[in-house]
Homo-oligomer: A and B are copies of this chain.
Amino acid sequence: MFRLFVYLNILGAFLVTGLHIVEPGPEYPASKGAIWPRPQMQSIEIPYYKFDSDILEIKVVDHDCPILSNAVQRSLAVLREMLRIASPYVNRNAPQQVLDDDTYDGPLKSLSIYLTSPCEEYPHFGMIESYNLTIAADSTLRSSSIWGILRGLESWTHLFHLSDNRDQLHINKGEVHDFPRYAHRGLLVDTSRHYISMSNILLILDAMAMNKMNVFHWHIVDDQSFPYQSERFPDLSRLGAYHETLIYTKENIQTVIDHARNRGIRVIPEFDVPGHTRSWGVAKPDLLTHCYDQDGDYVGLGPMNPIKDSTYTFLQELFHEVQALFPERYIHIGGDEVDLDCWESNPEFQRYIQEHNLTSVADFHALFMRNTIPLLSENSRPIVWQILRASHQLIYSTGWYLDHLNTGGDWTEFFNKDPRDLVNGLSKDINVDNIVGGEACMWAEVVNDMNIMSRVWPRASAVAERLWGHESQATYQVHCRLEEHTCRMNARGIHAQPPSGPGFCLGV
């Protein structure tokens, strides 16, 4: 009578053995008022205070500057927005929150901010980021650096949580003493494989600040496209970008630097040379090496040409412009994945080897780097991609490639990696004290504006916590904290994906 339709489905089996109790609701319930990344030292007491925007006064007691006043206004806006978002979900049938119980200590009256040194204009490697925060009716936040004050204000907003009825914001009495484990806590964003819009770059910076990350590593150009608009060489982007409108103008870049600076984030540009430069050659083919196949036929353009003076003349002018635009002392000049076989295939290079008694074609790479690094401005600090070697300071990124995917919650793999353990495993010659930090890397082959936010967040949050200071493994509590933090990012307009399975955020 009934014709049965059957789904062919090997994965979802018909019968299951082994008692398997499932609870309804989220896989991991969100924590309430937990700071991400976890602070170095924190005490939480039972008494709590209520946020009332008519009562709370934020006092800048010592030094002040626009970075600080902007951050204060953003923090207050975050709290008001938390209440606004929660308003449709207030449980009006439940009994009113009892505010005259023993643990309610009244409204939050003030937050006094003690910045004990003048503001710096730009964040920098080695900047002070430590802060002390005391939550009481009259709270205090102290740091000797504007960057520490920014970190403390971010933590302060994390401590607020909705009351059970969702009609109030509460914060518990307590203290936070906090400082980062690593000085360099970065996120690489590749804007060459796909163009990323300005609005998403600014949102990424917002999210970085929420995760106390402090380096935006802008992998701005690569083989595929050249979206950096040079004033000196406008054809580079006019011809080398995917489209002449898919570019970053000088004004765009200044906007990014300023948005980042206000959040204590450095912007390190990367112009990867001599490889990964094919898009440069659309406008400037003479920069690149002609490659030949085994029959001696020309097959295409390869890495930059290290044996022509004009290459270096050009690079000096470009780097001069770039370094005038970016206030950051550090500049990333790549140096990775150079196609030596192209150099080797070129008869001119073979002649050069003989005439200059080079031992191998790899010497061209050394020659190029030796000639290029002095082109940078005098107090520059160059950064290069390199396999492990010698006693340089190290920034760890292996294992934190966000384009590598697994099913669902691979943030735990990122989280459980420790730069020091891995370095120890690789080479006994490396001094772990040379590791100054690390970066999560969003190579953009697989992301554009459609999915970059959900691909990066909250997966990069795991890296952020690891670099800030948290040394344990991904426990149940870490999962619960990341649930809350993901909903917090969602509430602030960051389209972070679900971290760990079934669950929900209200009002986003």
Contact surface of A with B, Cβ cutoff 8 Å: 2-27, 88-89, 192-195, 223-225, 240, 242-243, 245-246, 275, 278-279, 281-282, 291, 293, 299-302, 330, 335-342, 345, 362, 365, 373, 376, 380-390, 392-398, 401, 403-409, 419, 423, 426, 435-436, 439, 444-451, 453-454, 490, 495-498, 501-506, 508
Inter-chain contacts of A194 with B (CB < 8 A): 498, 502-504
Interface SS of chain A: helix, strand, loop or mixed? loop
Inter-chain contacts of A246 with B (CB < 8 A): 504, 506
With A224-B502, A403-B408, A504-B243: A336-B14 Cβ-Cβ less than 8 Å:
yes
Contact status A18-B495, CB under 8 Å: no
Instruction: Tell me the nearest residue of chain B to A224, going by C-beta.
Output: B502
Inter-chain contacts of A224 with B (CB < 8 A): 22, 24-27, 502
Instruction: Tell me the nearest residue of chain B to A503, going by C-beta.
Output: B194
- Report which of B5, B279, B423, B454 forms a contact with A381, defined as CB distance below 8 A: B5
Inter-chain contacts of A300 with B (CB < 8 A): 21, 23
Inter-chain contacts of A17 with B (CB < 8 A): 340-341
Contact status A225-B382, CB under 8 Å: no
Contact status B282-A387, CB under 8 Å: no
Contact status A384-B6, CB under 8 Å: yes
Can you name 24 A-B residue pairings with CB atoms under 8 Å?
A2-B376, A3-B392, A4-B382, A4-B384, A5-B392, A7-B383, A7-B384, A9-B336, A9-B398, A11-B398, A14-B335, A14-B336, A14-B386, A14-B387, A15-B362, A19-B302, A19-B339, A20-B339, A20-B341, A26-B224, A89-B245, A405-B408, A447-B498, A451-B495
With A14-B338, A17-B340, A504-B448: A384-B24 Cβ-Cβ less than 8 Å:
no
Inter-chain contacts of A291 with B (CB < 8 A): 19, 21
Q: With A and B bound together, what is the CA distance between A490 and B450 in angstroms? A: 8
Instruction: Tell me the nearest residue of chain B to A335, going by C-beta.
Output: B14
Q: With A and B bound together, what is the CA distance between A423 and B237 in angstroms? A: 52
- Counting from the closest, the 4 A-B pairs by CB-CB distance are A451-B454, A5-B383, A21-B300, A6-B392
Q: With A and B bound together, what is the CA distance between A445 and B446 in angstroms? A: 21
Contact status B392-A12, CB under 8 Å: no
With A342-B19, A365-B15, A502-B193: A9-B408 Cβ-Cβ less than 8 Å:
no
With A15-B340, A225-B24, A341-B20: A3-B293 Cβ-Cβ less than 8 Å:
no
Inter-chain contacts of A505 with B (CB < 8 A): 448
Instruction: Tell me the nearest residue of chain B to A496, going by C-beta.
Output: B450
